Structure 1
Amino acid sequence: MRRKVKYWGWLLSLVLIVVVASAQMRQSDVPVSVPESLGVTSVTSPQTQVQILFIHGSPGSKEGYSAYLERPDLRKSADLVSIDRLGYGESDPLPEPSILKQAQAILPFLSKDKANILVGHSLGGPIALQLGLIAPNQISGMVFVAPAFDPELEHPKWYNRIADTLLAKWVLPTEWNQSNVEMMSLSKELELLASRDWSVLTMPINIVHGVEDDIADPGNSVFAINRLPKQSVKLIQPPDEGHFVLWQNVPLVVESIHQVINSLSNE
């Protein structure tokens, strides 16, 4: 009996060694970049007075906004800047679940001589809002697309808990592991964000949230509406759209961005 126990203990140890070694090999495949550096894609229009800064969700990348950077109407209206958040794409590969630290990493990319408009999809929404709280005087407007704001609606799901196991971490692609790190702590991060004073966000804000969103419940945007100054925020709820309205209804999101841009000229 003891020999069997020793055998299975030895076998389990061997399996763990292989798993850890494999995980380390997977990590070595991640491109190494300068800490706190961010990958950026931009289209500049020197004659414009606006910069639009796009912040992706979880997982995601700056390429997720390619359709927007290619839009002639947006190119005529603003400088367009899309960023790889910490943990993704060409940015620092280490996962960073802190919404505050994610926002602080983006802060240097705000234009000093143009009006800044932030566009955030999914988790990019609360990161954009956090950036607005850090530098309200540098942000002229925001557009949130299918955002996550309500801590009670963003507890880890059953699949997040499965993805948080050692075996799942070994099997899943790196960006999905990065994303799950963010999802496991998202509710607590949103609690911290909700504890801040949102009344300083008096700039024009549009929220686009599809009624059929089954990933970020539309109640997230209702939560935001109830906390933001009433005179500054507008909620757009397309009835047949879900979480991927960012890609499935580009014209609607672009229209929402133009509304914010146009509101600047009316001030």
Structure 2
Amino acid sequence: MRGMTKKKIKIGCLTLLLGFIVLTQIVSSCVSLTKSDREVAKYFRDKPVQPRSVFYNVDGYAIHYKQLDVAKNGTIVFLHGSPGGWDAFIDYFADSTLYQNVTVVAVDRPGYGKSEFGKPVGSIEKQAALLQPMLEALPAPRVIVGHSLGGPIAARLAMDYPDWVDGLVLLAPALDPRLEPNEDWFRKPMRWPLLSALVPKIIRVSNEELIFLEEELEQMLLLWPGVQAKTIVLQGGEDGLVHPQNANFADSMLINAQKEVIFLPKQNHFLPWNEYALVKQKALELMREFRQ
């Protein structure tokens, strides 16, 4: 009986996993996670300005970002979550109150979009190293806005390359390794060759990031005192993807940085869009401070 029970459990888990894969296939075919070049061109067709693509190489790994540099006296850089692409922040490029005051940049993080799509980089340290040359090429001061998994990558940039990061705006950031979910049982099976072949590539890239996230965040624990960039943290109280207590973690770990933690009790995970005005306001506030 016990053997039969274990067998049923395995069959049940496999059935759930296959169901999850089918669901991801349906979602990816019905709802595009990133915009095509044609969709981007259509979006900017009636806009007075539009960003240009910039590419660079780090040890044979190509990184792509979009840049709108009407103004050149400082830069706001947007880092998307997992999965995603630069166009998660496309509306910010159409906002004249932004692009008339600062250079606006959004990057395809490693493995996404035109940054070696399908070739994931699980290491947060390595992702930061791949993005650092972009910061060198951008006008100072530099404020990095990181959403979700983009949050710890922004923080790692401030830890490892403090001379290139002046301010941080962390939106629903996954920072505390103790708060990473343990119930994501499907992540390891998703790496099995047969099952992996059935999963959309963008989901595979995301899985390779998230499966190592707890360990990556643990490696950052001793580095938090090195963050000196002024930091603003926005966190929703009804966030179902990143634990709301990450805001408390950030508050406790930013011991050498000026900080502001804004807790939004009724807000969810999707702050770049649901709190667009507040995100823009806080990023510009930081920029004005650094210019004084």
The two structures have a TM-score, normalised by structure 2, of 0.74
2:129 alignment partner, one of 104, 115, 119 = 104
Instruction: Say which of 19, 30, 36 aligns to 2:61.
Output: 36
Query: Among 109, 115, 127, which residue is 1:85 paired with?
Result: 109
The equivalent residue for 1:224 is: 250
Query: What does residue 86 of structure 2 align with?
Result: 62
CA distance in 1, matches of 2:70, 2:149: 28
Partner of 2:262: 236
Matches within 5 A, 1:177-188: 177-188=204-215
Range moving further from structure 2, 106-115 or 180-189: 106-115
The alignment yields a C-alpha RMSD, in angstroms, of: 1.9
The verdict on how the C-alpha distance between 1:132 and 1:248 changes in structure 2, with shifts beyond 3 A counting, is: same
Aligned residues: 232
- Deviation digits for residues 86-111 of structure 1 (CA, Å, limit 9, x no counterpart): 11110123111000010111101114
Aligned to 1:158, what secondary structure does the other structure show? coil
Bigger helix share: 1
Sequence identity, in percent?
Answer: 31
One-letter amino acid of the structure 1 residue matched with residue 176 of structure 2: D
Q: Deviations over 1:33-76 (max 9, x none)?
A: 97311121110024x42111111111110011101121111112
Give the partner amino acid of 2:127.
Q
Instruction: Say which is worse superposed, 253-262 or 151-160, in terms of deviation.
Output: 151-160
User: Closer, same or farther in 2 for the Cα pair 1:69/1:92, shift >3 Å?
Assistant: same
Q: Name the residue aligned to 1:20.
A: none
What does 1:44-193 align with in structure 2 at a 5 Å threshold?
44-46=69-71, 48-93=72-117, 94-110=119-135, 111=137, 113-156=139-182, 157-161=184-188, 163-193=190-220
Matched residue type, 1:104: A
| Alpha-carbon distance, 1:166 to partner | 4.4
Residues of 2 paired with 1:168 and 1:220: CA distance?
Answer: 32
Flag as ranges the 4+ runs of structure 1 deviating above 6 A.
none
Counterpart check, 1:213 vs 2:239: yes
What CA distance in whole angstroms lies between the structure 2 residues aligned with 1:245 and 1:58? Answer: 14
Instruction: Provide Cα deviations, 1:13-35, integer angstroms capped at 9, x if missing partner.
Output: xxxxxxxxxxxxxxxxxxxx973
Q: Deviations over 1:207-234 (max 9, x none)?
A: 1111110101011221111010365111
Structure having the higher Rg: 1
Rounded Cα–Cα distance in structure 2 between residues aligned with 1:75 and 1:258: 11
The alpha-carbon distance between structure 1 residues 168 and 246, as it changes in their structure 2 partners (threshold 3 A), is farther
Identify the range of structure 1 (167-176 vs 181-190) with the bigger mean alpha-carbon deviation: 167-176
Distance 1:231 1:66, change over 3 A: same
Contact 1:61–1:89, Cα closer than 8 Å, also in 2: yes
Instruction: Give the superposition deviation at 1:123.
Output: 0.6
Q: Distance in 1 between matches of 2:287 and 2:97?
A: 12
Range with greater deviation from structure 2 (56-65 or 241-250): 241-250
Gaps of 5+ in 1: 1-32
Cα separation, partners in 2 of 1:45 and 1:224, compared to 1, 3 Å: same
- CA distance in structure 1 between the partners assigned to 2:191 and 2:257 by the alignment: 41
Q: Deviations over 1:134-169 (max 9, x none)?
A: 111221111011100001111452343453444542
Letter of the structure 2 residue corresponding to residue 163 of structure 1? M
Aligned AA (2:97): D
